[in-house]
Structure 1
């Protein structure tokens, strides 16, 4: 086999690029349907229409509805986090404010509902939920590990995550800056 010519794509790399582009397009379309419409709107026909592909393409690569939900959740990617300054209270408030912004920008409330509903019984969704939660909580866990451990640590992480998640899911509103700051102060006073 001849070595590849620099600057020229092989047939495999062209196909790989096309597959990656299709996967990205379908993932974004499925995520759009999930966050702008609902779980019920995720059908092969509808996602294919939004993505600009045929139903056959979707059925070939993502044969079940669960496959479409999985690729939608994969399309969420990594959540934005801020670089810590070393001032614990300020960093916790900044991280929760970034989380609040991500809930709004990425419509995470709708994604969290799907993860809560299906993550209990569907292993693939559970794994995606665990990955998203682990990545989302990583900065809080890192910061709080400097002042708490054991049950106090776990409770502090849950309480601070909950200030955004509970307000969003239970009351359909994002917490204010004042509520975030008060939650941080209450947690820090308790640990």
Structure 2
């Protein structure tokens, strides 16, 4: 893809996510996003015919944030992935984006698929790390517990988990894996 097109996509999708995070679903209009990104509304309509397409692609862009690079050490990799997730929640305002997505997925049924895909893509690295040692309901529970440690602390307590809390969450799950 042409570098200008890539830059335009990045600018517009970042502006769309900023509008979503700051003003909620109703703030994401082609006019507001175009103004914020510095492009004409016609440019946005040419690539994103409706708000849902714009929001879907904005979440896809957010979903491409860097993850921890696995080393083969399960504990270190789980901690690293949770730290990457915590960073995304705080530095990239993923906490606000997830809150808006959770809130609007009910009243806006089209967002249910966006939420499903976004969560699935976000949990994939954790599942891949755990899959060699867990399966079925145990894999689901461990994924939920580990990802939930970051989501719960950040969204419900207003502060991301500390390094010590991340490590404790991983250690608790690993005790369940090893039985020790």
TM-score clears 0.5: yes
- The gaps in structure 2 that reach 5 residues or longer are none
Greater Rg over alpha carbons, structure: 1
> Could you say which residue in structure 2 is the equivalent of 1:145?
131
Are the equivalent residues in 2 in contact too, given 1:29–1:47 (CA < 8 A)? yes
Deviation, structure 1 residue 46 = 1.7
Which secondary structure state, in structure 2, belongs to the residue aligned with residue 173 of structure 1?
Answer: coil
State the distance in 2 between where 1:78 and 1:71 align.
11
Q: Which runs of 4+ in 1 moved over 6 A?
A: none
Gap change, CA 1:21 and 1:82, over 3 Å in 2: closer
Partner of 2:27: 41
1:162 maps to which of 148, 151, 170: 148
CA contact under 8 A between 1:35 and 1:110: conserved in structure 2? yes
Superposed CA RMSD in Å reads: 2.5
Please tell me whether the aligned partners of residues 79 and 135 of structure 1 are also in contact (alpha carbons under 8 angstroms): no
Q: 1:61 to 1:153 in 2, by over 3 A?
A: closer
Does residue 101 of structure 2 align to residue 119 of structure 1? no
* Equivalent residue runs for 1:1-150 within 5 Å: 21-59=7-45, 61-120=47-106, 122=108, 124-150=110-136
Aligned length: 177
1:78-128 Cα offsets, whole Å, 9 max, x none, are 131122222211111111111111111221111111221233454542333
The whole-number CA distance in structure 2 between the counterparts of 1:87 and 1:19 is 40
Q: What is the TM-score with the length of structure 2 in the denominator?
A: 0.82
In structure 1, the residue matched to 2:174 is: 188
TM-score (norm 1): 0.78
